[in-house]
Structures are given as structure tokens and as C-alpha cells.
Amino acid sequence: MTDAATGLGEGDPEDCDSTVPQASEVAATALAANPSIQTYVLGLGDAASLNMLSQAGGTGTAFSADTAESDKVIEAMHQIRKRALPCEYALPAGGEQNPKLVNLEFTPTGGDTKTVPGVASADTCRPNIGGWYYDDTTHPKRIHVCPATCEAFDTAGAVNVVLGCPTILPD
């Protein structure tokens, strides 16, 4: 959470000598790292600077709130929490993996674990069922979650990539 203000002066020691471009560079570096870390921005100030930080961190537009309206700050925090569970997962490294023996499981907060069905590609994601697919069908390295499934994820839930059992397909 930030006001994106530079305090006494851009790069001032009181601001730990940081600038919006420097903070954006840190966010971009974290996003490019392995594992990738997204930066969510909830700000109380200059929208352009806040958005620069959020875009560099891979999360698009910053959330903005008025300090006089604490309910809006709390609601923005809830929106960030809901968006924080990723919709892309790396396959575990090491050893030969059979792409037909991979499943994705989602356990919602306080709910039962559900196996998410595997689909052939992004084009075969269905809004009413969702699913997941590989980044590359020949040599997969990552699992991408269909938009409908990703929207159902919440951060208090858990997602697991499970190896060894035949991939569950949509009904």
C-alpha cells in the first residue's frame, strides 16, 4: 500500500532514496523471477504512478482508495486477495513426466477438494465447466487455468498439481 508520493524530493533519503521508476523496476524484476511474484498496488494518490507500479508487477491497474472511506480500503484488500491465487502453474521439475498422468486439484475455503478437468487447449475451455490446459502439448512445462476456473479460485483455497493418475477430462 502506498501513496506514490516522493516525500521531500524524488530519491530523497527520507523515502529510502526510492523513486516510482525504481520501485517499478523492483516489481518487474520480481515478476520475471522464478518463481514469479506479482505486485498488487493499493494506493492513495497519483493514479499514473500507482498504475506504473501495478503494471510493472504484472497485475494491471492499481486499486485506489480514499483514506476517509475505510470500507473502500477494506473492499480493495478483499479484491486483491481474490485475485492473488495464480492461474498458471509450473509442472514439477525433474524426471520424466507423462502429460496424461497429471491433474489439478482445487480446495476452496472450507470446502471439499475438486479435480479440475484437463482440456486440450485454451480454445476448448468452456465457460460452464472451465478446466486447465498445457502451455505446449508436446513438451509441457506449465499448466494454464481456463478463465471460468480461475475466477472460481480464492486465495484462502489451495491448488495442487498432482502426478501419477490419469488426467480427469470434462464430462
Q: Which residue has the higher pLDDT, 160 or 154?
A: 160
How would you label 108-135 residue by residue, b for 16+ Cβ within 10 Å and e otherwise?
eeeeeeeebbbbeeeeebeeeebbbbbe
Q: What is the pTM of this model?
A: 0.56
Residues 6+ apart with CB under 8 A from 79: 63
Q: Over the stretch 60-119, which tens digit does the pLDDT of each residue have? A: 888 776 666 667 777 777 677 666 678 888 887 766 678 999 999 998 878 899 999 999
> From CA 96, how far away is CA 109, in angstroms rounded?
33
162 has a pLDDT exceeding 50: yes
- pLDDT computed for residue 154 by the predictor: 64
Contact call for residues 4 and 15 (beta carbons, < 8 A): no
Please tell me the least confidently modeled range out of 75-84, 121-130, 147-156: 75-84
